[in-house]
Structure 1
Amino acid sequence: MTPRDVVRRGRLVAACLVALGAVVLLLLTTRTVTSPDLVGLQALSPAAVPALVVALVLAVVPLGGWSRRVLVVPSVLAVVAALVVASVRVAPRWVAQGVPTSDATTLRVMTANLRLGLADPAAVLAAVRREKPDLVAFEEITPGLQRALEAGGLRRQLPYVAGRAEPGATGTLVYAVDRLTSVTSLGLVHDSWSVEFRGLRVWGVHPAYPYDSAWLRDQERLATAAGEQRPDVAVGDFNATLDHPPFRRILDRGLTDAAEQAGEGWQPTWPSDGSKGFPVPVTAIDHVLVGRGITAVGTRVHTIPGTDHLMLVAVLALPPGP
């Protein structure tokens, strides 16, 4: 065996290992798991597609001049098959799924996890002034940060508020340009609220994070409540991605992720501060969900110093009224 053969065989082994890891990652997203570490792996499943591309390149390279193609060709075909399955699974996230009617009313919503009240209030206010949202949900907002935001003029732009600011991670507030009524708690670990806004049922939510034993329970409660209340819009830090089966059960109750519907593709929101060993955000756990009849025109994100979440903004088209 020549040194070239050794290198080629090593590439094939590496391709198989990378592809196997990617396939395991994809299969993991088909099951509901309770281990926080496995929940974290599920959130990283979008990495399966680029991993399979790398595996395909590694597997194809040894084809040139290697006589034992009986081993290489099946490996290449297996990687191609896995890549096709993975690509079909994520393709809808890159393709817009609806076109609003020309007479649709536009609604602009925003959500931001303010990380225990440590977010820079000036940056938050600047983003609100720039985006001019009709409704905002702030998670992990503390009394001190609420005072700073309102002293900076937040209530002049968004005069109506519902919810509670609390120390730590519990507080959630919903601000809006018009009156908020029928305010009720959704009964999650962190404050989460259902409100009426312009005739719409809107949620501002923040379920438990995966390392809390209540994570699965909160996701199940949201799925049950979604089936009962049929919210028109749900915004917040859901602590889950499209690859988590419990979160998909929430969507199965008649909701659609705005970023997916608008074809925004991969739009991760956490961690945005370089923490957790990642230099860039790698998971999309902040969401705007829309009910039937509402079309997401587009979504975008903003960096807010002091927090590890990107602020998420969505422009929605509402169906014309009667």
Structure 2
Amino acid sequence: MLAPTRFLLVFCSGFSLLAVWGPFFWPPLDALGQGTPVLLAINLIAVVCAVIFGRLRSNLPIACLAGLAVLSSGYAIVRGWPRAERAEPGGQPLRVATCNLWMSNRSSNEAATQLAKINADILLLQELSPTGPLSLAAIADAFPYKSECNYCSQAIWSRMPITVRGSSKVDWPLPQEQQQLGIVWAKIAINQQTEIGVVSIHLSHADTSGKQLDELDALKRVLEPFDEKTLLVGGDFNASPDMLRYSKFVSDTGLRRVSFWPTWPDSLGSLGAPGRFPVPFMAIDHILAGSSWASMASRSEGGLGSDHYCAVAEIALQR
């Protein structure tokens, strides 16, 4: 095996181990784990290459290191996997979608067409700027009930009545100039007997500064007044399920994943390039649901002119 190849495989294996186990000692290192599925694939290739090419004895240390990285990455992925639903849905199915539309998106026709195709009952929208180039006027009338937050560029659109709505800048434990995020929320009457809480969120990018960790802690406090059993939380978390911060947030709040597919990347426009990425490989947009919800189906929908796919989930209240 060539020396550059050895170095690359050792680097990827070491990076994977640091991303999985490092956060237990210093939480901000969790930001390194956002591409764990990709690293898992690389490390699997490393094991195969170490066994097949060259002399096995000389490549055995690399194979062992890569094997340990494979097991660690697999553990991280399983840790973030949703718990299986056993209860049968009892109520009318509800289709919920969360979409980061990208602030500089100019593809109004494509976005409106795809959102209409999704045919959601509740839409959670991020990076929807009232002064931006994107217009969704073509489908806005299909959602007569709205809770919007202009300063945080988010909205909740619903086909069902919104009884209470609001938005607020969360008390992030950050300097004033860094407090760029907020939330928008609504209470929605899905039938005459049941009212649910819905929260849209857009977190900052995961890095080693610890900012996103502070945001997740603040978000937990925001969710406390809501009934956890019927709560829905969705948005651009900028964190994948294999990251420790994500699985800890889900565990602490009692929420569960009901959207399971990768949502990034889609359009290459945010990178200054034309076209779309062949397939998404990172799940960073999520829909989380309380314990009273049963998951029925989920998918990702792209082609909105954004660098994100929409996460779409079909759910129903359990019997």
Q: TM-score range by the shorter chain?
A: 0.7 to 0.9
Give the 3 Å change call, closer, same or farther, for CA 78–8 of structure 1 in structure 2: same
* 1:290 corresponds to 2:289: yes
Residue matched to 1:224: 221
How many residues are paired up? 297
Residue type at the aligned position of 2:186: V
Give the 3 Å change call, closer, same or farther, for CA 173–18 of structure 1 in structure 2: closer
Counterpart-to-counterpart distance in 2, 1:93 and 1:207: 18
* 1:61 corresponds to 2:52: yes
Q: Deviations over 1:72-108 (max 9, x none)?
A: 4455344334323422432476787225515343110
**Residues 232 and 290, structure 1, Cα contact 8 Å, conserved in 2:** yes
Q: For residues 48-197 of structure 1, what are the structure 2 equivalents within 5 Å?
A: 48-62=39-53, 66=55, 69=57, 72-73=59-60, 75-91=62-78, 97-99=84-86, 101=88, 103-116=90-103, 118-144=105-131, 148-150=135-137, 152-155=138-141, 157-166=142-151, 170-188=152-170, 189-197=180-188
Residue type at the aligned position of 2:19: L
Residue matched to 1:273: 268
Residue type at the aligned position of 1:285: I
Counterpart-to-counterpart distance in 2, 1:42 and 1:233: 26
Give the Å deviation of 1:43.
Answer: 1.4
Give the Å deviation of 1:135.
Answer: 0.5
Residue matched to 1:200: 196
Counterpart-to-counterpart distance in 1, 2:267 and 2:53: 39
**Residues 30 and 245, structure 2, Cα contact 8 Å, conserved in 1:** no
**Residues 121 and 145, structure 1, Cα contact 8 Å, conserved in 2:** no
Counterpart-to-counterpart distance in 2, 1:185 and 1:142: 15
Q: Greater Rg, structure 1 or structure 2? A: 1
TM-score for the superposition, normalised by structure 2: 0.78
Counterpart-to-counterpart distance in 1, 2:64 and 2:206: 36
Give the Å deviation of 1:128.
Answer: 2.7
Residue type at the aligned position of 1:23: L
Residue matched to 1:251: 250
Residue matched to 1:4: none
Counterpart-to-counterpart distance in 1, 2:37 and 2:66: 16
Give the 3 Å change call, closer, same or farther, for CA 14–51 of structure 1 in structure 2: same
| Of 37, 42, 58, the match for 1:46 | 37
Q: Deviations over 1:158-197 (max 9, x none)?
A: 110012335xxx2111110111122233533333122111
**Residues 161 and 173, structure 1, Cα contact 8 Å, conserved in 2:** yes
Residue matched to 2:240: 241
Q: Secondary structure, in 3 states, of the residue corresponding to 1:25?
A: helix
Q: Deviations over 1:95-140 (max 9, x none)?
A: 8722551534311011111222525222222123222211001111
Counterpart-to-counterpart distance in 1, 2:8 and 2:149: 52
**Residues 28 and 42, structure 1, Cα contact 8 Å, conserved in 2:** no
Give the 3 Å change call, closer, same or farther, for CA 50–234 of structure 1 in structure 2: same
Q: Secondary structure, in 3 states, of the residue corresponding to 2:93?
A: strand
Counterpart-to-counterpart distance in 1, 2:91 and 2:26: 38
> Percent identity at matched positions?
19
Residue type at the aligned position of 2:250: L
Q: Secondary structure, in 3 states, of the residue corresponding to 1:143?
A: coil
Give the 3 Å change call, closer, same or farther, for CA 115–15 of structure 1 in structure 2: closer
Q: Secondary structure, in 3 states, of the residue corresponding to 2:70?
A: helix
Counterpart-to-counterpart distance in 2, 1:15 and 1:142: 43
Counterpart-to-counterpart distance in 2, 1:242 and 1:95: 9
**Residues 114 and 141, structure 1, Cα contact 8 Å, conserved in 2:** yes
Counterpart-to-counterpart distance in 2, 1:22 and 1:164: 38
Give the 3 Å change call, closer, same or farther, for CA 91–15 of structure 1 in structure 2: same
Counterpart-to-counterpart distance in 1, 2:104 and 2:2: 53
Residue type at the aligned position of 1:148: S
TM-score for the superposition, normalised by structure 1: 0.77
**Residues 192 and 207, structure 1, Cα contact 8 Å, conserved in 2:** no
**Unpaired segments of 5 or more residues in structure 1?**
1-6
Give the Å deviation of 1:241.
Answer: 2.1
Alignment RMSD, CA only? 3.3
**Residues 15 and 56, structure 1, Cα contact 8 Å, conserved in 2:** no
Q: Deviations over 1:52-74 (max 9, x none)?
A: 101101211247xx4x83x5445
Give the Å deviation of 1:317.
Answer: 2.3
**Residues 92 and 316, structure 2, Cα contact 8 Å, conserved in 1:** yes
